[in-house]
Amino acid sequence: MIDQLYKSVEQNGVVCLGLDTKLDYLPAHLLQKYTTVEEQLFQFNRAIIEATKDVVACYKVQIAYYEAYGLAGLRAYQRTLQYLKRVQAITIADIKRGDIADTAAQYAKAHFSGDFESDFVTLNPYMGYDTLGPFLPYLKQGNKGVFVLVRTSNEGAKDIQDQDVANKKLYQVVGEGLEHLGTSYLGQCGYSAIGAVIGCTNTEEAVKIRKMLDKTFFLIPGYGTQGGTAHDVASLLKNGNGGVVNASRSILLHYQKFSDGANRFDELAYLAATAMRSEIEGAIHDDAI
């Protein structure tokens, strides 16, 4: 699966489109056309996917946005994942699970098979590396992957991740442990199926992190609204690959910047995704000169 993601970046660029969908994001005509929450959320997602599937590397579906609407939301979540699979798009279920033993095994089963099956999931390792154990057999089969929180983009990350442990920052200890563990799950592309979530808002750390986690593929949040720039992103990539850059509202809600945007929300999402991809490619080119 990591090889498929690597190839998708080669073909479509580094944008990971976050389907963090809320009813307030939807144009009024969609809310009027579809009468159930399930249908409203799904039909918005379907239109966005159809418009952008050739210009993004993958889609990240944040489960909390769907859980908030109860069973109707979870049905929309399920249908969104199934639709993405139907169009052969790569999916990241943003679930940030972090438990152990049988509980972790059930999370792995729930999100790597059945109704909520996805290609990748996000995990929180700060309870210990045994939180990853039940997911690893799926990786060994070669068709799944994980992105593990290492250095996140939020302001509060420093409260825990920056704490000193054995003359290193805690996130460095975690990252080095994952890099070592990942050597057993390397794809042909040279990257491991155990990826890392690395925010692009930590400019001064980017080059050091990329060098430290040489075989680790990155899921990169923090671009745009949180202050990360295209050049920050470029520092976390290698030859324009080795990571995907998440964006959600800046693409989903791009239509709100236009007086007639509601009727072409999907077309404008495509334009926003394309502009983001071009901006990052430009920064990669500039940094290579």
Where along the chain do its domains lie?
2-288
Sequence-ordered alpha helix ranges (H) in 141-198:
170-182
Q: Which of 96, 109, 169, 238 is catalytic?
A: 96
Nearest CA-CA partner of 71 in 115, 29, 114, 105: 115
pLDDT of residue 202: 75
Q: What is the pLDDT of the chain when averaged over all its residues?
A: 95
pLDDT of residue 206: 82
Nearest CA-CA partner of 150 in 205, 226, 71: 205
pLDDT of residue 113: 97
pLDDT of residue 204: 76
pLDDT of residue 228: 86
- Over its C-alpha atoms, the chain yields an Rg (Å, rounded) of 18
Identify the burial level of 286 via C-beta atoms within 10 angstroms of its C-beta, where 0-12 means exposed, 13-18 middle and 19 or more buried.
exposed
pLDDT of residue 155: 85
pLDDT of residue 111: 98
pLDDT in tens, 34-69: 999 999 999 999 999 999 999 999 999 999 999 999
Mean pLDDT of 246-270: 96
pLDDT of residue 205: 81
Identify the burial level of 132 via C-beta atoms within 10 angstroms of its C-beta, where 0-12 means exposed, 13-18 middle and 19 or more buried.
buried
Secondary structure class of 65 (helix, strand, coil): helix
pLDDT of residue 63: 98
pLDDT in tens, 117-140: 999 999 999 999 999 999 999 999
- Give the pLDDT band (50/70/90) at residue 258: very high
Is the per-residue pLDDT at 289 higher than 70? no
pLDDT in tens, 14-27: 999 999 999 999 99
Q: What percent of the chain has pLDDT over 90?
A: 87
Which of 42-51, 71-80, 169-178, 280-289 has the weakest average pLDDT? Answer: 280-289
Nearest CA-CA partner of 97 in 73, 57, 130, 119: 130
pLDDT of residue 193: 98
Which of 49-58, 139-148, 262-271 has the weakest average pLDDT? Answer: 139-148
Identify the burial level of 68 via C-beta atoms within 10 angstroms of its C-beta, where 0-12 means exposed, 13-18 middle and 19 or more buried.
exposed
Which of 50-64, 153-167, 181-195, 211-225 has the weakest average pLDDT? Answer: 153-167
Tell me, rounded to whole angstroms, the distance of Cα 75 from its chain centroid. Answer: 21
Mean pLDDT of 80-100: 97
Is 96 marked active-site? yes
pLDDT of residue 203: 72
pLDDT of residue 153: 86
Distance CA 64, CA 45 (A): 15
75, 40 Cβ separation under 8 angstroms: no
Distance CA 81, CA 84 (A): 5
User: Taking every pair of C-alpha atoms in the chain, what is the biggest distance, in angstroms?
Assistant: 59
| Predicted structure pTM score | 0.96
Nearest CA-CA partner of 250 in 17, 9, 58: 17
Distance CA 275, CA 94 (A): 24
Return the H-helix or E-strand segment holding 271: helix 265-288
* Span between the terminal Cα atoms of the chain, in Å: 32
The CATH homologous superfamily for domain 2-288 is Aldolase class I (3.20.20.70)
Distance CA 152, CA 54 (A): 28
